Structure 1
Amino acid sequence: MRSIVAILAFAAILYGSICMVQLTIPFLQFKPTVDFLNSKRLIYHLDWWRYSFYIHVFSSPLVIVTGLLQFNRFSIHRKPKFHRITGMMYIGTLVFIAAPSGFLMGLYANGSYPTQISFTLLSLLWIFTTVMAYRKVKQRKYVSHGRWMIRSYALTLSAISLRFFTFLIGYFNIPLYPAEAYIVVSYSSWMVNLLLAEWLIYLNYPERLMKK
């Protein structure tokens, strides 16, 4: 049963990852009228924000995919070199590229202060959990490393969760003004993920993953 749930979760995340990659394709036009950028016309002219946006959008799919590859028992035990390389790609891209650019974007997030606080806090927690995962693996504390990686990847998946919760609000016609809805999804997208991460940790998921 647990194996089936793990396979379904992997498939769902993989599908979400593919969708995220597809969402980035229109931004290759580098025009201010594309999708989300329509709401950013007042700040699109700011070079630092515009560069941060494109850096974040194009680096995040790499973080999602390389992060997903870390939770595979076969690569951990049979392909440790592959596990290390993709792990370093995940950590390096996240800590030095995706999260800092996300933090800068968060300073001008739609919805004013409530959402700006949410997204900047998310970026800081994203970096913190990932750095902790790196520290633990360097100390050869592999179970603790696994726990912090789960937390880190839970925050990585907030990009997918945000869109999923936005869809749910629209599908169930929840009576919220657009600004209120965006505040709700901006917090729930990463808070719910962290709660699920702690639940997995409570179930000793990292320990089971690392057992041969």
Structure 2
Amino acid sequence: MTWLRKPWVGPLAFVVVAFVAFSLPPYLTGDRASARVQSDWGPHYPLLVVHVVFASIAIITCVVQIWPWFRGRFPAWHRRVGRVYVWAGVFPAGLSGLVIGWMTPFGPVAMVSNVILAVLWLLFTWLAWRAARRRQFRDHRKWMIRSFTLTVSILTNRIWGVLAFMALADRVPEAELPNAISGIATWTGWVVPLLISQWWLEREPRRKTAVAVEQREPVSV
């Protein structure tokens, strides 16, 4: 089967579903104390719930959208799921994330990172949607890859958070540790994957050109 040629699809889908199954339920209870991020700012909790719910929709639909087999086999559904990703996923999650990122309790370093991440997430997704509407599918694919990278960056954020804790636990005063970990994790969580995705996008045309040239070269015997 064609989808088996993309071995990353299954593991990525499993990780995303497991992450959502772990992260989402506490925010569906209405209990402010169950939130994993606490803040004294009154609107923080309802906005956090909005962000988590719609970000969960975004990350699940995003995995479906980048699945090559699904795109090729069901183009109409690809467009429908894409609308859900944009309007019921990224946009409400990004706008709420922009506000709660600005009001983060984890200090100015994390705040700047969260705000930039939210702005870029909204921008990349809008550019991907606009390119699709204009039938500029090559540009749509590039912007969608960038949008996807920021959507799933929450996964790498958690990994960097664990590594930062292991590195700083015995070196940073306990009162400063949450802000230090959050500052490191929020920046590396999305900057590193975005740089890798940009490197891949720039490398891909050169790789295709090299293959095309190689195929045109005569074989010497």
Pairwise same-fold verdict (TM > 0.5)? yes
Higher relative contact order (CA 8 A, sep 6+): 1
1:191 aligns with 2:191: yes
CA distance in 2, matches of 1:12, 1:81: 23
Conservation of the 8 A alpha-carbon contact between 2:65 and 2:71? yes
Which residue is equivalent to 1:157? 152
Q: Deviations over 1:95-117 (max 9, x none)?
A: 43110011111111132221111
Matches within 5 A, 1:1-212: 6-8=6-8, 10-37=10-37, 39-40=38-39, 42-43=40-41, 46=42, 48-170=43-165, 173-175=166-168, 177=172, 178=177, 179-204=179-204
Query: Number of residue pairs matched?
Result: 198
What is the CA–CA distance in structure 2 between the aligned matches of 1:34 and 1:124, rounded to whole Å?
A: 28
Q: Which moved more, 1:5-14 or 1:151-160?
A: 5-14
Higher Cα radius of gyration: 2
- 1:66-114 CA distances to partner (integer Å, 9 max, x unpaired)? 0111112222222101100111100112343110011111111132221
Contact 2:9 2:67 in 1 (8 A): no
- Residue 32 of structure 2 aligns to a residue whose secondary structure is coil
User: Post-superposition shift, 1:162?
Assistant: 1.2
| RMSD of aligned residue pairs (Cα, Å) | 2.3
User: How far apart are the structure 1 equivalents of 2:100 and 2:187?
Assistant: 16
Contact map agreement 1:17 1:61 (CA 8 A) in 2: no
Q: What SS does the corresponding residue of 1:140 show, helix, strand or coil?
A: coil
Does the Cα contact within 8 Å between 1:75 and 1:83 map onto a contact in 2? yes
For 1:60, give the aligned amino acid: A
Tell me, which stretches of 5 or more residues in structure 2 are unaligned? Answer: 209-221
Task: Report deviation, 1:168.
Answer: 2.6
The answer to whether the 8 A contact 1:150-1:197 is kept is: yes
Identity %: 22
SS at match of 1:33: helix
Normalised TM-score (structure 2): 0.81
Answer yes or no: is the 8 Å Cα contact 2:90–2:125 preserved in 1: yes
Unaligned runs of 5+ in 1: none
